[in-house]
Amino acid sequence: MSALIDLSSLYDLGEKVALVTGGAEGMGKEVCRFLASAGATVAVADINLPWAQDTAREIVEAGGNASAYHVDLAAEQSVVDLLHAVRKQHERLDILVNVAGLQDREFLTETSLALWDKLHNVNLRGSFLTIREAAKIMRADGRGGRIVNISSMGSVHPIFEGLVAYNASKAGVNGLTRNAAYELAQHGINVNAILPGNTTTAGQGRTPGPPIDISKLKNLTPPLGRTGKVSDIASAVLFLVAPASEWITGQTLIVDGGHLNN
């Protein structure tokens, strides 16, 4: 007679150390909460250190393990220092989740080189730097690892104006994900990306850019009838960093409520 499967073990992150960039608020904060709830020790990294400290404190007060770090993803040395600090404090690094990013909007013909560079420096180059440094640690430690990048549905199918620079940077993240997965597979490091559809966050409302045409908002509602919640994305991240997804790498998982089926 076959024994039942212990499904809880498929999502057990006990003894794992996870670094989450952009963990101070919104999607990143929810990812931190999910990983801590699965047993991981979470390193909450953000350019806004006080808010990162708030996230870490809330997790600790709820019975989890977390600590906060400052990072500026546009500065190489800041990223290098972050990864060294996490490895030194926790003596290992098993998971990296790149959530931090900028979504400043501007129409194509008004997009400045400064705006283009700003978004690519954080969204694409910043992800490259964190992956590069995390991979060095994971490879040296010999325990394998999981890396998840937060890209965007807009990287494969634009649905809203003003996101040329943003979507181009996220398309680069998709290519970065596939190539990193190819190179790092031999070291037991899985690399995947999640492409969220329109997901409501506080940061989304603060994004600078031209006024939004209210008449076009209906185009942002997917077949499932609502915009995304940060928990929708965090649960997908948990799957991709947990033992349940051991045989998945180099994939770009679209989490959009069925929007691309429209």
Q: Read out DSSP for the chain?
A: -PPPP-GGGGG--TT-EEEEETTTSHHHHHHHHHHHHTT-EEEEEES-HHHHHHHHHHHHHTT-EEEEEE--TT-HHHHHHHHHHHHHHHS---EEEE-------B-GGG--HHHHHHHIIIIIIHHHHHHHHHHHHHHHHTS-EEEEEE--GGGTS--STTBHHHHHHHHHHHHHHHHHHHHHGGGTEEEEEEEE-SB--HHHHH--SSPP-GGGGGGG--TTSS-B-HHHHHHHHHHHHSGGGTT--S-EEEESTTGGG-
Is 166 one of the annotated active-site residues of the chain?
A: yes
Q: How far is it, in rounded angstroms, from Cα 37 to Cα 120? A: 32
- Which of 11, 69, 166, 182 does the annotation list as catalytic? 166
Active site residues: 166
